[in-house]
Amino acid sequence: MTHSKQLWLRCITATVGGYAISTGFSIALVPALTVWLNYTLSTSVLITTMLSYLCYFIVIILSFCLPTLLSLWRNLFIFCALLLACYQMAIPNNLHVNSKTESVLSMMSNQTISNNITTINSHTLNLTYSNNS
């Protein structure tokens, strides 16, 4: 492979692979920090977002430091597999949503929305009636 072709492949791997790893890092570690370390969701999102930039820069640096493209792609694949395993271990089995649970949740949210609209409408009617008196 020519030197310019290898450089282009490393640049593409650094850009696309770095983005994929940093996004996967953010997605995988939010539930891990929330479940394992009992952080709040907002704190977990903040921490993983800041650390995802660090992951992105590490991938960029590794893209040009490793001797072969094959070793770079192998390391990125292994890191993706580790992130997937971390995500699967952090999510409890009862949180995985199936179609039945999804339909129940959608019915509950629709019922809640209609109750809130009814409450808002009744308060608006009461305010309108009291202003006319």
Report the greatest alpha carbon distance in the chain.
87
pLDDT at 34 over 70: yes
Arithmetic mean of pLDDT, 23-43: 88
Burial class from Cβ neighbours inside 10 Å (0-12, 13-18, 19+) for residue 87 reads middle
Q: How far is CA 113 from CA 100, 107, 109, 110, in A?
A: 20, 10, 6, 5
The Cα 7–Cα 11 span in angstroms is 6
Read off the pTM: 0.63
Does the pLDDT at position 49 exceed 80?
Answer: yes
Q: Where does the pLDDT of residue 104 fall: very low under 50, low under 70, confident under 90, or very high at 90 and above? A: very low
Q: Where are the domains of the chain?
A: 3-96, 97-133
